[in-house]
A and B are shown apart, each in its own frame.
Chain A
Amino acid sequence: MSYGMKTNVGISFQNSYGTALTNSIYWVPFLSEGFAVSKEPIVSEGMTGVFDEGATYEGINAVEGTLEVEAHPIVLGAMLKALMGSPSTVTSGAYYTHTFKPRTADFDDYSAQIPVTISKALGDAGSAHRFYDMNASKMSLSVANGELLEASMDFMGGKYLQIVAPAASYPAGKSFTWDVASVSLAGAANADISDFNMELDESLENKYTLNAAKTPSRTKRSGRRTLAVGGTLIFDNQTEYQQFLSQSERNLTVHMVGQTNVQSGYNELLTITVPLFRYVEFKPVAGGAEKLEVGFSGKGIYSTTSATILQITLANTQAAY
């Protein structure tokens, strides 16, 4: 018998589209995963004098799945690279500061993102599964009071192998907790936000061509990138409501300090910066007797000044991604 808790999932970054990578795997401590091959059937519509449906053929193959994790400082960097490309890195002794921004160009003609290989070993259940030519299409980050920072990433692509299970090893260190988070709006700290979430959607889709294969020949963009931001605000005053009414666009920064002291005075850090954040929905209503809270939603706007919609800075002990 095998258990979910004995399953290992790892991500590695391919050098090119079409060739799986079997080493340099970032093993991910995960909460849940949904990687599986789907095979869409083609049913013949031809009428053959019977009431029964026609012959069935194997149609397009695809792999899609969501990986949910508690955001570990080292592993989070690998996930950000999958979605946003390689970071720029500044080194100070053993302290490495990686700055991620969404891609400004596709990886190549076949792949919008760096193609990744995902290895999944299902405990004692025999062969491991290897999905390759996968693209990270969407990522969400969320933190709420009393919880760990969680990340969820959607992958899509379509090539698959069964392999001998590789050996897994996990980075040391601890995840980010809610009590190390702070939020600032337009440069001023805001202590009224009780939970926060954001979702960067790259709007990707698999493309199939007549290339003698049932798997996608590329994964490319089908729409524009969007950044959704949401959360809950304790409604003690009208300050943020005025910002909704005026539809202002302001800097939003979420800052988290990790528990691991890398070197004297320097802990692991995560800083999420949305240069221009704008409220889309903000409805202060009394839904019951309890303290007033407002669930808000908003979005990131591309800043021509910062030349990005989002910037994520991650400082840790990982020399490079």
Chain B
Amino acid sequence: MTKQVEWLSPERVIPSCGVATTGQLISLPDDLADKFIAQGEARLLPLAHTATTRPKAETKGGDV
């Protein structure tokens, strides 16, 4: 399984995974992602389907 994380550190080469630049979203194996998150070098992104969204407020149409 993999996790998608945001890379927080400066540009780094992650062995067997590639290059990560600051702010880049990368997929890492679960255990590796957990370690980088614990080390403060990456952060977990919330999954899109679990994100809470507020309904748009209704707007009244006006004369053009």
Contacts and interface: CB of A to CB of B under 8 A. Distances in A.
A139 B22 CA distance: 32
Interface stretch (A164-172, A179-187, A220-228, A280-288): A164-172
Contact of A172 (B19, B39, B40): B19
Contacts, number: 41
**How big is the B interface, by class?**
10 to 19
A22 interface: yes
Interface string B7-39: 001111111000110000000000010011001
A172 B10 CA distance: 9
A166 B39 contact: yes
User: Secondary structure at chain A's binding surface: helix, strand, loop or mixed?
Assistant: loop
A318 interface: yes
A152 interface: no
A166 B42 CA distance: 13
A169 B35 contact: no
A131 B36 CA distance: 20
Across the A-B interface, give the 7 residue pairs with the lowest CB-CB distance, nearest first. Answer: A167-B35, A169-B12, A170-B13, A169-B14, A23-B39, A167-B36, A172-B11
Interface in A84-101: none
Contacts of B41: 23, 167, 169
A22 B39 contact: yes
Contacts of B40: 23-24
B30 to A, nearest CB: 12
Contacts of B13: 169-172
A294 interface: no
Contacts of A166: 35, 39
A171 B12 CA distance: 5
Given A168-B15, A170-B15, A317 B10 contact: yes
Interface string B40-63: 110000000000000000000000
A318 B9 CA distance: 11
A170 B11 CA distance: 9
Nearest to A167: B35
A23 B20 CA distance: 18
